C-alpha cells in the first residue's frame, strides 16, 4: 500500500515539476527572441537594398521626379541604419561602445544631410530648371557639398562598425564576433562609395544586413561574457 507520505511527496513533486509543454516553451523562448532580434537588426539594410533596385542610375529631367520622391522616402530610413549597432550595444558600456555610439551619431546626421542635398534638393532643382548652364553649375556645387557630407557620414558608420565589433569581441570573445564583424566592416568600407545604386550599393546593403545578423546571433541578449561563461 502507498502511504500518505508517499502520496504527499508525489503531489509535491507534481506541483514543483513544470509540465513538458512549459519546459519546451521556456527552451523555445530564447530562440524566438534571438530570431526577432536578428530580424530587427537586418530589416533596415534589407529595405535599403530593395529601395536601391528602384534608384535611378542618373539624375536627368526624365528621372528627376522619381529621384526626388525616392529620396524623400529615404530621409527617415537612412538614419535608422544606425539603430542596428545601437541595438547590438544595448546595455553595454565602455570605450568601444561609446565610440560606436558616437560613430552612429555622426553617420545619422551627415548621411541624412547627403540625402537631403544631393537627393531631394538636387532632384527638385533638376525638375524645375530649364537652363542647362544653371543646372550644371548648381548641380556641381550640390554634388560637392552632398558628397563631402556623405563621406563624413560613411566614415562615421565605418567607425561605428569597427567599434561595435570590438565591443562585442571584448564581451563575447573574438572568435564569436569574427565572422559577423568581418562582413560588417568590409561592407562598411564598400559603403564609403557605393550608396544604394544597383548592383554595388544593393549588394553592400545586403552585406551590412548579413553582418548585423551574424553579430546578433553571436551575441544574444542575456548571454554571459566569455570570461564569465568559460
The model's pLDDT over 5-62, given as tens digits with 9 standing for 90+, comes to: 655 656 655 555 556 555 455 556 677 888 999 999 999 999 999 999 999 999 999 9
Q: Where do the domains of the chain lie?
A: 39-209
Distance CA 193, CA 173 (A): 31
For the stretch 99-136, pLDDT in tens is 999 999 999 999 999 999 999 999 999 999 988 898 99
Residue 229 has pLDDT above 50, yes or no: no
Tell me the mean pLDDT in the region 146-171.
97
pLDDT of residue 100: 98
pLDDT of residue 228: 38
List, in order, residues 6 or more apart from 186 with CB less than 8 Å away. 207, 211
* Three cell numbers, residue 60: 536627368
Residue 204 has pLDDT above 90, yes or no: yes
Distance CA 87, CA 73 (A): 23
Helices (DSSP H) in the chain: which residue ranges? Answer: 4-16, 20-52, 64-74, 83-88, 95-114, 122-128, 132-172, 174-194, 200-218, 226-229
pLDDT of residue 12: 57
Amino acid at each position: 500500500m502507498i502511504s500518505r507520505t508517499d502520496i504527499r511527496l508525489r503531489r509535491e513533486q507534481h506541483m514543483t515539476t513544470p509540465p513538458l509543454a512549459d519546459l519546451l516553451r521556456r527552451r523555445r523562448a530564447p530562440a524566438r527572441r534571438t530570431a526577432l532580434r536578428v530580424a530587427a537588426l537586418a530589416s533596415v539594410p534589407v529595405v535599403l537594398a530593395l529601395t536601391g533596385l528602384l534608384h535611378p542610375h542618373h539624375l536627368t529631367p526624365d528621372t528627376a521626379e522619381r529621384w526626388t520622391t525616392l529620396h524623400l522616402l529615404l530621409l527617415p530610413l537612412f538614419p535608422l541604419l544606425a539603430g542596428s549597432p545601437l541595438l547590438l550595444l544595448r546595455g553595454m558600456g565602455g570605450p568601444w561602445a561609446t565610440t560606436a555610439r558616437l560613430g552612429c551619431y555622426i553617420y545619422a546626421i551627415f548621411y541624412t544631410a547627403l540625402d537631403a542635398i544631393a537627393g531631394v534638393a538636387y532632384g527638385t532643382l533638376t525638375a524645375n530648371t530649364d537652363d542647362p548652364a544653371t543646372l550644371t553649375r548648381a548641380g556641381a556645387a550640390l554634388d560637392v557639398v552632398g558628397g563631402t557630407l556623405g563621406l563624413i557620414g560613411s566614415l562615421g558608420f565605418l567607425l561605428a562598425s569597427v567599434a561595435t565589433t570590438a565591443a562585442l569581441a571584448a564581451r563575447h570573445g573574438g572568435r564569436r564576433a569574427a565572422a559577423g564583424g568581418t562582413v560588417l566592416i568590409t561592407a562598411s568600407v564598400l559603403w564609403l562609395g557605393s550608396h544604394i545604386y544597383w548592383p554595388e550599393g544593393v549588394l553592400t546593403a545586403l552585406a551590412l544586413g548579413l553582418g548585423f545578423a551574424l553579430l546578433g546571433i553571436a551575441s544574444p541578449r542575456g548571454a554571459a561574457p566569455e570570461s564569465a561563461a568559460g
